[in-house]
Amino acid sequence: MKKVFVGASWKMYKTVEESIEYINKLQDFMNKKFEPNSNIVVYVLPTYLSIDAFSKNIYHPNLKYGSQNCFWEDEGPYTGEVSPMHLKNLGCDFVEIGHPERKNILKEDLQMINKKIKACIRNELTPILCMGEEEKPKKTEEAKNYIKEQLAKLFEGIKGKDIGKVLLAYEPAWAIGAKQAASIDYISEMMVFIKEHLASKYDKNLRSGQLIVYGGSVNTETAKNILAIDENNGIFIGRASLDVELFEYMIEVALKIKQ
């Protein structure tokens, strides 16, 4: 049975107290709605300051947590950075890597992101790798060529079996924060292409085994159709997830589709 991920990344919002209140409400909801052995994984990525509180307050087996970033070394003289080894020690399962805001505002490049992917794999953390084209293409082939070049740099020096440990978050940058997500047909075509490309270049098993979710202006109107895409393993939500009731609605949509 296909595993489905419903994820939330809070950016730089919510205090520790607000985070605990949110998590308590979310777990109450999940206790009522989830059946044992559900194949739906819910994860929340708060600010660094709330991760320790999450480790002490999260108990639902289908609710996971992680970080919105990490450094590429486990420890050392790297002032202000956060170790993937320390995140693992705090019970994190996921680390978001390569979000467009970090690339555009903090000038992270693909080489840095590549090293962070390797650091996550080394520490048995699941990298949620944000990837996708920067601008809305006039032709789909333009986007596919861009994706090929991007993936070659992101996965340089990484074996096919380890690429399979990455949760790809297909997020065309032009759709992030937009009023409308990319069209269903477009998302589906790009996800098929990404899986086929990885399978042909790295490991044939990636065609069926590679996990990929969609992010980029997912809302209550688009979630159902996006989750129904055959190649898709879930949705990754940004600012919209700050509202716990809205996030619960997204989870409920996923539950209904899986039924």
Q: Is 141 a catalytic residue?
A: no
Active-site entry in 96, 108, 133, 171 = 171
- Out of 99, 108, 133, 248, the active site residue is 99
Distance CA 50, CA 10 (A): 11
Amino acid present at 156: E
Confirm whether 99 is a catalytic residue. yes
Known catalytic residues? 99, 171
